[in-house]
Amino acid sequence: MNKTLKFTGIVAIVIVLALTMLLAASIAYADDGTGEAVQGFDKGLASAIAIGLAAMGGGLAMGIATGKSTEAISRQPEAEGKIRTTFILGLVFIETAIIYALVVVILIAFVI
């Protein structure tokens, strides 16, 4: 696959995810004309969209990282230990971002 095409696809996915996150935030803070935020379904929908996107983005990132680390190990088997350590550290950071998204969703659903 062409590198430019792959980069364009990744940029398109990031833009769609960012726009969907903005939509989720606007649904969460929607106003029904009474001056109070809409409760119930809108918050649930916003929470579902936000955590779904976070899980999807994290899954994609983990899949890409796994593939690239496997390719790197197959090219340089002698560097397997260093590659694996960096790979596991990267997965930890990705999972941490997903957990932060879960915390924000819980705040949207129950506190805000």
Q: Which domains does the chain have, with CATH numbers?
A: 3-110 (1.20.20.10)
Across the chain, mean pLDDT equals: 79
Cα–Cα–Cα angle for 54, 8, 18, nearest 5°?
A: 30
- Residue 47: other Cβ atoms inside 10 A: 21
Residue percentage of the chain with pLDDT more than 70: 72
pLDDT in tens, 22-34: 666 666 566 556 6
Q: CA-to-CA distance for 106 and 51, rounded, in angstroms?
A: 10
3-class secondary structure, 35: coil
